[in-house]
Amino acid sequence: MNRRKFLNSIAATSAITAINPLAFAQNKVPALNRRNEKLLSCYYFRAHMYTMVPRHVREDLKWMADHGTDAIDLAILEQDMFAAVENIDIIANEAEKLGMKLFIVPSRWAGLVAGAPKVPSLFAVHNPHTWLMHTDGKPSYSEVSGVNCSIFYPEVADFFKSSLEKAIDLWNIKGIIWDEPKIYDFVDHSEAAIKKLGKNAPKELYNQAFTDFWSEINTHIKEKYPEIQTHMFLYSEMNQKVLENAATIKNLDYFGCDGRPWSADDSGKNEGGHQEGLAKTLLGAGERFLPVAKKNNKKSLWLVENHNMLDKDVALMDKRFPEILNKDVDHLIYYYYPRNLENPENNMRVIGKHISNFK
């Protein structure tokens, strides 16, 4: 019996022997059965990192379930799969009791995806020969999360596949979210890239190769675990050619973008509108993703970036959120008590008010 099955068995036995079975049945909130096919999930990031208070986790997840959340999304570093396993077990088991699924957000893996926190990839540190290179022979480097690996080294894809298999063996995962793939519109001058595409290949070939990379990873997972959903989102301001190319990724169930819950026209005004990126908004730029997802037989996805907000930004979010809900997005993601909020309680009050109307 693998670890995931063992833990599920233990959890079930504990539930039967430790509490009244009837009481458990009455308290369980079948979140996934309450609503229609629309999906609401929650970015619950790093709650398990070194400090773990089970009572707090229970309270957090109860709030999510009470507001119609179907799944919790946990950021998973490479290190978590040997350094935080039992902590994640606690969150996963509490979510299951409330009828919520567990999705994972592979974070900073090989420097090719975002997620949390902003740290270098352990794989990239140990495999410098796989680094993506600039024309001057220096590696592609992010100021916040280290180097990016090149997808043209087969061990990079192998790392993603084996890491996902390990995570799926550890926990009862129902979905994978690819958060902001990092090297669209990058030209790779690594030895492996030049050998594959030639020295002066156009940027479009590199973009197609990155799309093919994700198709390979998703296909591998779907063949081994067909029940697991695959999700991906790009920056909402991503250029149209990349958007349309990425939407063709194979075995991808949901496709969309992340951005601020307002329009670019709102930014810089007295009522708020602090931007995370140039025109990185759901209203306006993000709306381009909805017809493209449908055209490619994928369900749509939006991540509401309700982090890093002043109170005047929260007021603007409150004002524009009904328009977000009216866009008929299939999978909506929100952050639970995210980083850098002037007034966290007010932010979550506004989020809670609106997500309750999502379905």
Domain encompassing residue 257: 3-119+153-187+202-355
Tell me the pTM.
0.90
| Mean model confidence pLDDT for the chain | 90
Distance CA 51, CA 98 (A): 22
pLDDT tens track for 318-356: 999 999 999 999 999 999 999 999 999 999 999 999 999
| Segment among 17-26, 152-161, 213-222, 305-314 with least mean pLDDT | 17-26
What's the token pair of residue 243? 């958007």
- In a domain, residue 51? The reply is yes
- In a domain, residue 163? The reply is yes
pLDDT tens track for 17-58: 343 333 333 344 444 444 468 999 999 998 878 889 999 999
Which has the closest alpha carbon to 11: 96, 88, 71? 96
pLDDT tens track for 52-82: 999 999 999 999 999 999 999 999 999 999 9
| Segment among 48-62, 76-90, 255-269 with least mean pLDDT | 255-269
Q: Which helix (H) or strand (E) holds 15?
A: helix 3-18
CATH number at residue 229: 3.20.20.80
- In a domain, residue 44? The reply is yes
312, exposed or middle or buried, with CB in 10 Å at 0-12, 13-18, 19+? middle
- In a domain, residue 142? The reply is no
Residue 10 has pLDDT above 90, yes or no: no
| SS3 of residue 161 by DSSP | helix
Other Cβ atoms less than 10 A from the Cβ of 13: the count is: 10
